[in-house]
Chains A and B, each alone.
Chain A
Amino acid sequence: MPEQKMVNIYIMGKQYEVPAGVTIMKAMEYAGYQFIRGCGCRGGFCGACGTVYRKPGDFRLYSGLACQLQAEEGMYLSQIPFYPANRSTYDLQELTPELSTILKHYPEVTRCLGCNQCTKICPQGLNVMDYIAAAQRGDIEKAAHLSFDCIMCGLCVSRCPAEIVHYNVGILCRRLYGRHIIPKAQHLAKRVEEIKSGKFDEELNKLMSMGQEELTKLYDDRDMEQ
């Protein structure tokens, strides 16, 4: 940090002085924590470090990922590294991409009260309530796209008065969409058949037996798709 300005933060109620502007994750380590839970990729992708906090003189509850949030004066915070969640088991190949599938596996989506707390707390800024609403209507494609950036941190689940597990509804919709709605890639199926029939074996064997010099020449001379 350039000038090492320090701020006071409160980790689960205990006060620590940490450098301003560092992420909450690094601030907690600076304070002396060594994470077992509550720390994963450290880059905003894994959802291990969901964090809730309040600010001085403000009644609101804020949220974010410890690896992305910056430490600010007076933050009063706690991580929520684990939150129990309901999950349905299914054989994706047997499912049909329709409303009845959603209602069979996650009937609780119909209990949504429209309070929008899930959207408010989402550290990814997703319209969580909207994708649950889409799932409720059987609009699986929309639910799949709206939930795509979900990192499954579970903060939405912690706030939901209807006890919905949004992220599990989201991944069911995405898998239904990916498997049963968008068409399969024809060029891919064709290539797999060609490989299984041994179409490329001879050419590959030839390359595998080549020396470095010959390979280097082939490599330098290869044509590049523009």
Chain B
Amino acid sequence: MYTAEMLELIKVVEQTRERRMSESFPRINVETKNELLRGYHPDYMDGAMRPVQLGPNKGDELPHEHVDILESRSFVDPDDIDLEKIDFDVDVLVIGGGGAGTSAAIMAAEGGADVLLATKLRHGDANTMMAEGGIQAADKENDSPPIHYLDVMGGGGFQNIPELVAALVSDAPICIEWLENFGAMFTKSPDGTMTTIHGGGTSRKRMHFAHDYTGAEIMRTLRDEARNRGVKVIEFAPAVELLKDDQGQVAGAVLYNMETEKYYICRAKAVIMATGGSGRLHINESPTTNHYGATADGIIMSYRAGAKLAFLNATQFHPTGVAFPEQVVGQLVTEKVRGLGAQLVNIEGEQFIYPLETRDAVSSAIIRECRERGKGIKVPSGLGVWLDSPMIDIIHGKGTVQRELPAMFRMFDNFGIKMDETPIIIYPTLHYQNGGVLINDKAETEVPGLYIAGECSGGVHGRNRLMGNSLLDIIVFGRRAGMNAAEKVKNVKVGKLNLEHAKAYNEELEKLGINERVAPILIPDYRYKISG
């Protein structure tokens, strides 16, 4: 499937491989990393952002694609919705059926709450399902939550909110044990010891995994458990606007049946927003690893309700998105490939960055190598560099790639590329929303009754999330949101429902002369073009 030119270039990579195998590219310190980011990371490029003109973060510079969503009218006409007819009346409404939402629903139900989980696609269609590489937890003898804490802070540029990071690292082993108890099949030694490896920016081998289906294994296990516990789920019925009551607390949501185009009114004593990220907004015009529904729905609904955003100007580009073949450009090549020893190599067959620096640094180095130094490989979509995947079998023994990276192997094999025999070509791809709605360590926002969990939230990862801390984040804060909401609703009385906040937001947009867009957009529109 490689072109003749590419096959010639592969020879260069093969020629330098034996020498490189014994070479370790030097790591960079914080200062050098900051220079690299300022020079090449897409967050810092001129013209990438503009100030948002209304709402709690008015004046903050955010990516255009986010501002477009934030400067959008409500999906519903507030005067046209009948709030007297209640279709669902529950204690806790969970919006989003990924890992965070499902963890939240399980724990809220366990806490005695009557729960409804409403989700846009199928239960489990989420970025969780696509997370390949692993989940971090400091549970080995040479490791500890404080060591994990320092890695997280360094990864996030020391901007992370300390109480959230402390919650993340302290709950991590508890969450792994929770999943183990649900029968999630982590890769283990026969005596039960977890197999753990490095991820970018980790100082200890604390990446737990389930081959390269880690997120899928966690997601399907949580979903199965939620089903066993009888958690009510409504699919293809996303929330499109939050409801408040006359006390100003969040009191449910308007749901929208995408198939019948009918609205449902859900009254709830607390709402947990777990709608995930925003890769399908194609920030920086980038292809994305994200699932179809990653359109920032929870961000705009929470923002209209008055919740503040944090770090939404920090976007994660995963260093290793597929750059070739064209059919799967932008899809994820898990960091585990580098965790198992594969190096990043330019057109001359040379390394240019330590492969397990943090993602923001590795992505910036790849962009520099291609755009400034002219040492990238030409592909139909632009440029890329080699990821020397055959090193894995040389280091760990033949068959390792097929055993440990079955999903990756299958994807490339589908296009005639054997990644255990030839290197693959990669380029940074839009992967993760580092920020989101600001929460505290109880997963609460400043808006009463509104909880946020997972990628929709902001603060825990600072400006850059480490590999394996997203699967962790969704479980930690999903559980916390569920437990805290269940406790809180015991003392909540819901008053008269209204959509005044949405109405006021629409009016402010009107004053600003902005009225061309509606959000949430729910799904991207790829009709009549080749995209996504």
Is B162 a contact of A220 with CB atoms below 8 Å? no
| One of A23, A34, A40, A208 near B291 (C-beta < 8 A) | A40
Per a CB cutoff under 8 Å, which of A2, A220, A223 touches B380?
Answer: A2
Partner of A35, one of B154, B186, B289, B523: B523
Interface residue count on the B side (C-beta < 8 Å): 92
- Chain A positions 92-126 with a Cβ under 8 Å from a chain B Cβ: 92-93, 124-125
Residue A32 lies at the interface, judged by CB distance under 8 Å to chain B:
yes
A125 to B327, CA, bound (A): 20
Q: Is B414 an interface residue, CB under 8 A from the partner? A: yes
Q: Smallest CB–CB gap between A40 and chain B, Å?
A: 4
Residue numbers in B under 8 Å from A183 (CB-CB)? 188, 190-192
Contact with A along B206-231 (1 / 0, CB 8 A): 00001101011100110011011010
How far, in whole Å, are A117 and B224 apart by their CA atoms in the complex?
A: 26
Known interface pairs A26-B532, A92-B228, A222-B203; A32-B527 also in contact (CB < 8 Å): yes
Cα–Cα, bound, A189→B213 (Å): 24
Among A129-137, A158-166, A172-180, the stretch that binds chain B is A172-180
Instruction: Tell me how far the C-beta of A135 lies from the nearest C-beta in chain B, rounded to whole angstroms.
Output: 15
Q: Contacts A177-B183, A207-B146; is A184 near B407 (CB within 8 Å)? A: no
B263 at the interface (CB under 8 A from A): no
* Residues of A in contact with B (beta carbons under 8 Å apart): 1-2, 19, 21-23, 26, 29-30, 32-37, 39-46, 48, 68, 70, 87, 89-93, 124-125, 144, 148-149, 151-152, 171, 174-180, 182-189, 191-192, 195, 200, 203-204, 207-209, 212, 215-216, 218-220, 222-225
Compute how far the CA of A125 lies from the CA of B523 in the bound complex, rounded to whole angstroms: 30
Q: Which residues of B contact A39 (CB under 8 A)?
A: 121, 292
Complex Cα–Cα for A186 and B523 (A) = 44
Q: Could you list some 19 contacts between A and B, CB below 8 A?
A: A2-B380, A23-B327, A34-B523, A40-B122, A41-B125, A41-B130, A68-B411, A89-B230, A92-B183, A175-B221, A178-B186, A186-B193, A188-B173, A191-B139, A192-B173, A200-B144, A204-B146, A208-B149, A208-B163
The answer to whether A41 and B291 have CB atoms under 8 Å apart is yes
Residues of B within 8 A of A90 (CB): 228
The CA-CA distance from A192 to B137 in the complex, in Å, is: 11
> Smallest CB–CB gap between A51 and chain B, Å?
14
Q: Which residue of A lies closest to B132 (CB)?
A: A45
- For B174, the chain A residues whose CB sits under 8 A away are 192, 195
CB within 8 Å for A29 and B531 given contacts A175-B221, A204-B149: yes
Q: Does B150 contact A (CB under 8 A)?
A: yes
Q: Report yes or no: B332 in contact with A43, Cβ–Cβ below 8 A.
A: yes
* 6 further contact pairs, Cβ within 8 A, besides A151-B216, A152-B220: A26-B327, A90-B228, A149-B410, A176-B183, A208-B165, A222-B151
Q: Contact check, A200 vs B170: say whether CB atoms are below 8 A apart.
A: yes
Known: A22-B530, A68-B411, A174-B185. A220 touches B327 (CB 8 A): no
CA distance A195 to B173 in the complex (A): 9
* Docked CA distance A178–B151 (Å): 29
List chain B residues, Cβ under 8 A from A89. 227-228, 230
CB distance from B399 to the nearest CB of A (A): 15
A29 touching B180 by the CB < 8 A rule? Answer: no
B140 to A: closest C-beta gap in Å: 6
Interchain CA distance A189-B332 in the complex, whole Å: 33
- In contact, B203 and A207 (Cβ under 8 angstroms): no
Q: How far is the CB of A111 from chain B (nearest CB, A)?
A: 23
Q: In the complex, which residue of chain A has the Cβ closest to the Cβ of B154?
A: A219
Which of chain B's residues 400-440 have a Cβ closer than 8 Å to chain A?
406-407, 410-411, 414
| Complex Cα spacing A93 to B180, Å | 11
Bound-complex Cα distance A144 to B184 (A): 11
Is residue B525 within 8 Å, beta carbon to beta carbon, of the partner chain?
yes
List A contacts of B188 (CB < 8 A): 182-183, 185
The answer, yes or no, to whether B204 is at the interface (CB within 8 Å) is yes
**1/0 contact string of B337-366 vs chain A (CB within 8 Å):** 000000000000000000000000000000
Q: Are A43 and B289 in contact (CB under 8 A)?
A: yes
Chain B residues with Cβ below 8 Å from A149 are 211, 213, 406-407, 410
- The answer for the CA separation of A207 and B144 in the assembled complex, in Å, is 13
The verdict on A220 contacting B29 (CB below 8 Å), with A40-B291, A149-B406 known, is yes
B218 to chain A minimum Cβ distance, whole angstroms, is 11
Distance, CA A185 to CA B195, complexed state (A):
10
Q: Are B173 and A225 in contact (CB under 8 A)?
A: no
Q: Residue on B with the closest CB to A168?
A: B224
**A29 → chain B, closest Cβ, in Å?**
4
Q: Mark interface residues in B163-179 (1 if CB within 8 Å of A CB, else 0).
A: 10110011001101100
Which of A2, A30, A152, A207: most chain B Cβ within 10 A? A207
Cβ < 8 Å to A, chain B residues 494-532: 523, 525-532
Closest to A92 in B: B183
A22→B165 CA distance, assembly (Å):
42
B406 A185 Cβ-Cβ under 8 A: no
B194 within 8 A of partner (CB): yes
Minimum C-beta distance from B257 to chain A (A)? 10
B292 touches A37 (CB 8 A): no
Interface residue? B30 (CB, 8 A): yes
- Interface residue? B375 (CB, 8 A): no
Task: Pick the most buried of A19, A36, A184: most chain B CB atoms within 10 A of its CB.
Answer: A36
Known contacts A1-B530, A149-B213, A149-B406; is A36 also within 8 Å of B327 by CB? no
Docked-complex contact A26 and B531, CB < 8 angstroms: yes
Minimum C-beta distance from A73 to chain B (A): 16
The answer to whether B181 and A179 have CB atoms under 8 Å apart is yes
Within 8 Å by CB of A1, from B151, B173, B205, B326, lies B326
Which of chain A's residues have a CB closer than 8 A to the CB of B327?
21-23, 26, 70
Answer whether residue B153 sits at the interface, using C-beta atoms and an 8 A cutoff.
Answer: yes
| Residues 30-45 (chain B) with a chain A CB within 8 angstroms | 30
- A207 and B166 alpha carbons, distance in the complex (Å): 9
Which 9 A-B pairs have CB atoms at the shortest separation, nearest pair first?
A183-B192, A175-B183, A179-B183, A178-B183, A40-B125, A219-B154, A208-B162, A29-B526, A178-B185
Beta-carbon contact of A45 and B192 below 8 Å = no
- B236 & A36 in contact (Cβ 8 Å cutoff): yes
Given contacts A35-B523, A185-B192, A188-B173, contact A175 B224 (CB under 8 A): yes
Measured CB to CB, the nearest residue on chain A to B181 is A179
Chain A residue contacts of B406, Cβ below 8 A: 149
Chain A residues with CB under 8 A of B217: 148, 174
Contact (Cβ within 8 A) A178 B184: yes
